[in-house]
Amino acid sequence: MVEALKEIFSAYEGEKGAVIPILQKVQAKLGFLSPEAIGDIASFLDTSSNEIFGVATFYSQFRFTRPGRHTVHVCLGTACHVKGGGTILETVEKEIGVEAGGTTGDYKFSLERVACFGSCALAPVVVIDKDVFGRVTTSKIKETLKNYD
Amino acid sequence: MDGKEIKAAPGDTVLKASKKAGIYIPTLCADKELEPYGGCRLCVVEIEGVRGQPTACTTPVAEGMKVLTQTPAVEKIRRTAIELIMSDHPADCLICVKNQRCDLQSAAAYLGINQYKFKRTSRAVNPDTSNPFFVRDLNKCILCAKCVRVCDEIRGVGAIDVAFRGFGSVIAAFGNQPIISSNCISCGSCVSKCPVGALYLKNEKRPDTEIVTVCTYCGVGCGLSIGVRGGQIARVLPDPNSEVNKGHLCVKGHFGVTEFVHHSERLTSPLIRVGNNFIKSTWNEALELVAMKLGKYKGPEVGVISSSKATNEENYLAQKFARVALNTNNVDQCARLCATPTLEALTAAFGCGAMTNPIGDISGAGCVLALGTNTTVSHPVLAMEIWRGVRRGSKFIVVNPKETELARWASLWLQNRPGSDAALLMGIAKVIVGEGLEDKEFIKGKCENYEAFKTSLNEYDLDFVENVSGISKEKITQAARIYGTVKPASIIYGSGITQHIYARDNVEAAANLAMLTGNVGKPSSGVNPLFGQNNVQGACDMGALPDMLPGYQNINKDEAREIFDAAWECQLEGTPGLTVTEMMKEAGEKKLKAMYIIGENPVISEPDSQHVIEALKKLEFLVVQDLFLTDTARLAHVVLPAASFAEKDGTFTNTERRVQLVRKVIEPVGDSHPDWWILCQLARRMETKGFEFANPSQIMEEIAGLIGEYAGISHSRLGSGGIQWPCPDKEHKGTPILHENGFIRGKGRFTPVEYREPREKPDAEYPLILTTERNRYHYQTGTMTRRVTGMDMLKHEEYLSISKTDAERAGIAGGEVVKVVSRRGELKVKAKISDDTPEGIVAMSFHFPGTPTNVLTDSFTEPSMRTPELKLTAVKVVKL
């Protein structure tokens, strides 16, 4: 059992349906859902690891690999898509060398695509960690990425 | 429905009702044994007063409901649903194994689909071929999730689930890794359920004919449908009509038959020892030699080991051969190692030493108490019945030192110390009596000797029981309250409580508990031993026992002997003979000089195997009859090649007393012959009368004439399904539940059980307890399963399961080869650190002759009990 999870589980004793909140708390604690953590969640909830995996993969909020130090979210919602979000994503992919959903080998960046941030007026939008970058261009985003280490 | 008035049962779905009424509604995801799913949207219908088009498979029927199954709206939805499925389903029907047996093809044909409506897309993933027995080609998957549901709902495994979402949805094992890396048990139930070609068996060819027979592995007795092509087994499928397995099998039955039957190492002609070598001989030469040699040793000098793998007819002939041709009662079989404590204790308590209730009613129990059984591994198909009950919400109490899969299913798991089962059960009984939960009426009306039993409970103070078993008083009380109040309650148990030196105490304690709560003679109750071999029950019924004649007639009773003396035209010896273990001892002392071993491998299976080898080497004459040159056969003077279960007719009696027909599927391999034929040939050459049988059906006629329980049984009757004995006459339908009209022995007899410490105790020198266990992929001494390539891939070698704490203490790491030493022997084996094994206990199977676990175990037996201790051996683990 991953020690850090005991505390999370203790709040859900007897609540066998609390899969999603548990997954969320575990991810918040560990940064991602490791196979071991899923195993522990499954045994806590009396089900198979695979069933937890099946549930978790349905939601885009869960990740199964260790994230990078910074997460780059590229928006591909309707407005951003129209304003060239796709090209921005391609640029970021080339720049950091991983595809959406991946993490760089040095664990510096994780790259995610999102459907909409609700900041359509600023399209196309990129969010790195908690910083929002609006009306980005391919050259701007390349420069922005350089500011992270 | 469609204007026709139809009747349905409450709780039926509209789909089920339509089937009953003969109205066809297409579906791809519904299955009669799976819960409604509503995934494929093909079974949509219109129901008056219901908005939209609900799915027939998820809508329960109601009185007066008006259903239309064929309207334009329904038609449109069905067509679109199937056109969407077809848009990403490969159109390579000609090279698909399911061609012409495909539900998608049938549904498309029914709906008259004649073109692709949507743009074709494809998944283009490589088929997962990681499992040795089946392929998962997810390109063809239609996401009906039947595989997911059967794996979870029916098998209780949950190896796969629907993962990801939208077009990316796939049926995935954990982490979307190849299936081999998951907890898949390779049972193949998913393959049987797949409506399309996404899951298919490797190397499957369509057979010319299919023949239904009974599996040769464990005591569950699953029906097999064996496909034959060109005289060879082409595939093995579950018999969908079998009442026992209902269309499911385990990995051994499904995939472990073909290869051993057709293995190149099968013995194909008799072998005679010349010096250190074997030379091939003709049957005539070998039989003459055996008849001549065995004829010299009569009475106490000779012994026969029959086989609980062989048919009833063969066991009957083997004991008759021993008693009539060799004039000895030295006849026994491996039931000695697991089943005889049951026979003795349950006969004494109830009057019959067999499973009281059928397998099929375990799921109906309100409470199931499972003692010393790792059912999902040793009896996987029977475990489905337990799982069905657990899913229904029955209380499930598991007593096992190891964290088995059952322990994870349990509502209460009592992780007791090995050797403390009787004490624990008596402790539970004490709480039941103490709290007044006993069934006073049942005890008073139907049982005897209760007071003596009650007095014996005084010894089991809960502090004492806690101390002996390691189970807290609270848990003991909890178990007692559940078992004592939830009705009906069923006890099931396996070799975990019978492979002990004082095993009879354990079974007696279990029988006491069942009588105490009135749980005998009713549906879903009783005391239910799960036998390890396909025909343990039958071999014992047939009298392949040193102290019992066929039908459990005591050999020392004159009245019993007189019947058989007359029937067999002989003069039977009245003194009981030797057990397997005792025969080995006497052979070692050169008192027993000749032995005839049929289909058993005592060198690997018997305790203290070094002594068994030495004993067998001292024999003047040893005949071994087997499929392969086993470690035992290598020591023989003559080896006779036997035919496998697939090559002969006969009957097996499964663990629930169901006598089932074994049918000849293929001709005997090489020049092998069935055991019954060989026995008849030998008897004739020894000029013994009463072996003039042309076929096993005639042998069964003789059996039916002598064993009351089998009186109504004949091969012709069994053709249409098995019969559970007692079956006293030709019209009788069999007896699924024993003792329904009172106990067979008259009154149920309570037995006081005194606590006895295990003889074998850990100490400073040997601090750990070794317990032997089973593995899912192998069977007994590995003679059959070790020859199946896929099984070897799934489990290649023996290992020692050891807890992390004990491993650290011994300074060993997982995967390291260590030495295991007991007071009798030692061996080297790889260690595996396992969370399932508690501190102080280590476990090994005995399926690998290269790691003969039984060199460590003790063959000592108590004269009054006569079973050795296999589940408890003091050992030390030494770093090399």
- Write down the residue that tokens 């999603």 correspond to: A20
**pLDDT (mean) for B439-449:** 95
Gap between the Cα atoms of B367 and B483, Å rounded: 6
Is A51 within 8 Å of B182 when comparing Cβ atoms?
Answer: no
Give yes or no on whether B14-111 and B340-529 have one common fold. no
Q: What is the overall mean pLDDT for chain A?
A: 90
- Min mean pLDDT across B430-439, B495-504, B523-532 is at B495-504
- Min mean pLDDT across A124-133, B194-203, B854-863 is at B854-863
User: pLDDT digits over B715-725, tens only?
Assistant: 999 988 899 99
Chain A residue with minimum CA distance to B171: A54
User: pLDDT digits over B109-150, tens only?
Assistant: 999 999 899 988 888 889 999 999 999 999 999 999 999 999
The answer to whether B362 and B489 are in contact (CB under 8 A) is no
Gap between the Cα atoms of B443 and B429, Å rounded: 13
Q: How many CA atoms lie within 13 A of B66 on its CB side?
A: 5
Chain B residue with minimum CA distance to A57: B164
Of the candidates B157, B163, B183, the beta carbon closest to that of A54 is on B163
Q: Which residues pair with A71 in a beta bridge?
A: A110
Q: Distances in Å between the alpha carbon of B313 and those of B317, B493, B553, B718? A: 6, 27, 18, 14
**Long-range contacts made by residues B125-131, C-beta under 8 angstroms, separation at least 24?**
B125/B170, B128/B178, B128/B179, B129/B202, B130/B178, B130/B179, B130/B180, B130/B181, B131/B179, B131/B180, B131/B184, B131/B186
Neighbours of B558 (CB within 10 A): 10
What end-to-end distance do the CA atoms of chain B give, in Å? 75
Is residue B497 very low, low, confident or very high in pLDDT (cuts 50, 70, 90)?
Answer: very high
Total residues belonging to chain B: 880
Q: Which residues pair with B843 in a beta bridge?
A: B771, B801
Provide CB contacts within 8 A for A90, sequence distance 6+.
none
**Range B793-806 burial, b when 16+ CB lie within 10 A, else e:** ebbeebbbbbbeeb
Pair of tokens at residue A78: 């309707």
Which of A56, A75, A67, A63 lies closest to A104 in space, CA to CA? Answer: A67
* pLDDT attached to residue B166: 87
**pLDDT (mean) for B307-335:** 95
- Report the amino acid identity of residue A104: T
Give the pairing type, strands B277-280 and B873-879. Answer: unpaired
User: pLDDT digits over B277-296, tens only?
Assistant: 999 999 999 999 999 999 99
CA-derived radius of gyration, chain A: 18
Q: Where are the beta strands (DSSP E) in B85-186?
A: 134-136, 160-163, 170-173
**CATH number assigned to the domain covering B340-529:** 3.40.228.10
**pLDDT (mean) for B668-691:** 96
Q: Where are the beta strands (DSSP E) in B384-472?
A: 395-399, 412-414, 447-448
CA-derived radius of gyration, chain B: 28
- CATH superfamily name and code, B134-261: ADC-like domains (2.20.25.90)
Gap between the Cα atoms of B566 and B573, Å rounded: 14
Chain B residue with minimum CA distance to A44: B408
Partners of A35 on chain B (C-beta within 8 Å) are 174-175
Q: B14-111 has which fold?
A: Ubiquitin-like (UB roll) (3.10.20)
| Three-state secondary structure call for residue B126 | coil
Q: What is the overall mean pLDDT for chain B?
A: 94
**pLDDT (mean) for B590-609:** 91
The answer to whether B692 and B680 are in contact (CB under 8 A) is yes
Partners of B173 on chain A (C-beta within 8 Å) are 50
User: pLDDT digits over B31-69, tens only?
Assistant: 999 999 999 999 999 999 999 999 999 999 999 999 999
Is B161 within 8 Å of A50 when comparing Cβ atoms?
Answer: yes
Q: Domain boundaries in chain B?
A: 14-111, 134-261, 274-338+536-650+671-694, 340-529, 768-879
**pLDDT (mean) for B66-95:** 93
B274-338+536-650+671-694 CATH choice from 3.30.565.10, 3.40.640.10, 3.90.180.10, 3.40.50.740: 3.40.50.740
Dihedral sign, Cα of residue B191, residue B192, residue B195, residue B201: positive
Pair of tokens at residue B159: 């190896």
Partners of B152 on chain A (C-beta within 8 Å) are 48, 51
Q: Say whether pLDDT at B836 is over 70.
A: yes
Interface test with A, best of B147, B152, B161, B170 (most A CBs within 10 A): B161
Which of B872, B870, B873 lies closest to B339 in space, CA to CA? Answer: B870
The answer to whether B305 and B333 are in contact (CB under 8 A) is yes
* pTM of the predicted protein model: 0.91
The answer to whether B670 and B267 are in contact (CB under 8 A) is yes
Q: Distances in Å between the alpha carbon of B686 and those of B271, B287, B294, B642, B747? A: 20, 10, 9, 20, 46
Q: How far is B362 from chain A (nearest CA, A)?
A: 22
Is A48 within 8 Å of B183 when comparing Cβ atoms?
Answer: yes
Is A35 within 8 Å of B165 when comparing Cβ atoms?
Answer: no
* pLDDT attached to residue B301: 95
Is A53 within 8 Å of B174 when comparing Cβ atoms?
Answer: yes
**CATH number assigned to the domain covering B768-879:** 2.40.40.20
* pLDDT attached to residue B806: 94
Flag whether residue A130 sits within 8 Å of chain B, measured between CB atoms.
no
Is residue A1 very low, low, confident or very high in pLDDT (cuts 50, 70, 90)?
Answer: low
Partners of A57 on chain B (C-beta within 8 Å) are 163-165, 172, 176
Task: Tell me which H or E stretch contains B799.
Answer: strand B799-802
Which of A67, A2, A58 lies closest to A32 in space, CA to CA? Answer: A67
Which of B539, B546, B595 lies closest to B339 in space, CA to CA? Answer: B539
Q: Which residue has the higher pLDDT, B866 or B77?
A: B77
Provide CB contacts within 8 A for B835, sequence distance 6+.
B403, B803, B804
Partners of B177 on chain A (C-beta within 8 Å) are none
Neighbours of B763 (CB within 10 A): 9
Flag whether residue A61 sits within 8 Å of chain B, measured between CB atoms.
no
**pLDDT (mean) for A98-118:** 90
Is B183 within 8 Å of A50 when comparing Cβ atoms?
Answer: yes
Pair of tokens at residue B162: 């629907």
Q: Say whether pLDDT at B349 is over 70.
A: yes
Gap between the Cα atoms of B509 and B213, Å rounded: 37
The answer to whether B535 and B315 are in contact (CB under 8 A) is yes
- Listed in sequence order, the DSSP H helices in B487-574 are 495-498, 503-516, 536-541, 558-568
Q: ipTM strictly over 0.90?
A: no
Of the candidates B161, B165, B408, the beta carbon closest to that of A53 is on B161
DSSP codes joined into one string, B181-221 = GTT-----HHHHH-SSTTEEETT----SEEEEEE-SSSTT-
Dihedral sign, Cα of residue B586, residue B590, residue B596, residue B599: positive
Pair of tokens at residue B702: 């003789």
Q: How many CA atoms lie within 13 A of A57 on its CB side?
A: 24
Task: Tell me which H or E stretch contains B683.
Answer: helix B675-685
Q: Say whether pLDDT at A2 is over 80.
A: no
Q: What values do phi and psi take at B613, rounded to 5?
A: -60, -45
Gap between the Cα atoms of B638 and B616, Å rounded: 13
What end-to-end distance do the CA atoms of chain A give, in Å? 33
Is B172 within 8 Å of A54 when comparing Cβ atoms?
Answer: yes
**Domains, in order of start, for chain A:** 3-58 (1.10.10.1590), 70-146 (3.40.30.10)
- Report the amino acid identity of residue B385: E
* pLDDT attached to residue B860: 83
